[in-house]
Amino acid sequence: MPVVPFDQREGFIWMNGKLVDWQDAKLHVLSHGLHYASCVFEGERAYGGQIFKSTEHSERFRRSASLLDFEIPFSVAELDAAKQIVVDKNNLPDCYVRPVAWRGSEMMAVAAQNSTINVAIAVWPWPSMFDVNEKMKGIRVDIADYRRPDPLTAPSDAKAAGLYMICTISKHRAERRGYADAMMLDWQGRVAECTGANIFFIANGVLHTPIADCFLDGITRRTVIDLARRRGVEVVERRIMPEELAGFQECFICGTGAEVTPVSEIGPYKFTPGALSRSFVEDYSAEVKPRQKAA
């Protein structure tokens, strides 16, 4: 089945405070966000018509914009409401949700303090990547050439468009080599994250994950840490060197798109997805299901 380009789909997108027809949600070619990456976004999922941790995402969305020196002209409550309207209007109870904000076309130079801040919210179907049994086979992951930058050189706490340039390059290279994704190191050569997901390792029943100080501390990452602690699994956030990967038995990645996905291979290092990885796949799946409201 041919893939419909994103600019040719049907439905509705919320743009600057109102719903517009999908194909009318456009920006000018001289928008500052396109040329200078003055753009932030979120990646969220709705399950059963409810957006998982919607408010946390809206809060981060506004915080990311602040780190890029602009203010989103809608409150957290207004963003939460708008996202729900888009999910409902498009009749997509299970979908991916993409809020995005960018500087407009009023100024075209590095400085653009007087540009209008535009905000849009779109949703589209994005099924879970695998069922649980397929997931448990594990994906193969390459090791990227590019590294996450020193946090003194980029706003690493922001979910900002410009920070994903090296992720796209790295994922393209990995896929050309037959891998599903690529693991990135940080600027000091320590394990950081994958191109669009955080990473966890398991050794002797203990969960290890890199300290998120030069890459995004993902909302899914924090959810997994909370699930581990509820299960009584010890979580260690620490510096992890690549050569340590030989000592881990299991590995998985997590993010809004990936959800929780076990890994069988990272470059020369092999892992066997096991019971603990399966428990996180299942726990996360249960966690995102809509809670029944009390009568």
Collect all residues with Cβ–Cβ distance below 8 Å to 100 and sequence separation of at least 6.
Answer: 39, 40, 41, 42, 119, 120, 121, 122
Q: What's the residue count for the chain?
A: 295
DSSP H or E run through 135 = helix 132-135
What CA–CA distance (Å, rounded) separates 63 from 41? 11
83, 135, 159, 171: which is the annotated catalytic residue? 159
Residues 118 and 101: beta-carbon distance below 8 Å:
yes
Could you give the count of Cα atoms lying within 13 Å of 93 in the half-sphere of its Cβ? 5
DSSP-based helix, strand, coil % in the chain, nearest 5: 30, 30, 40
DSSP H or E run through 8 = none
Neighbours of 24 (CB within 10 A): 9
What CA–CA distance (Å, rounded) separates 163 from 42? 13
Distance of CA 221 to the CA centre of its chain: 10
Indicate if 159 belongs to the active site: yes
Beta-bridge partners for 202: 207, 250
- Give catalytic residues, as residue numbers: 159
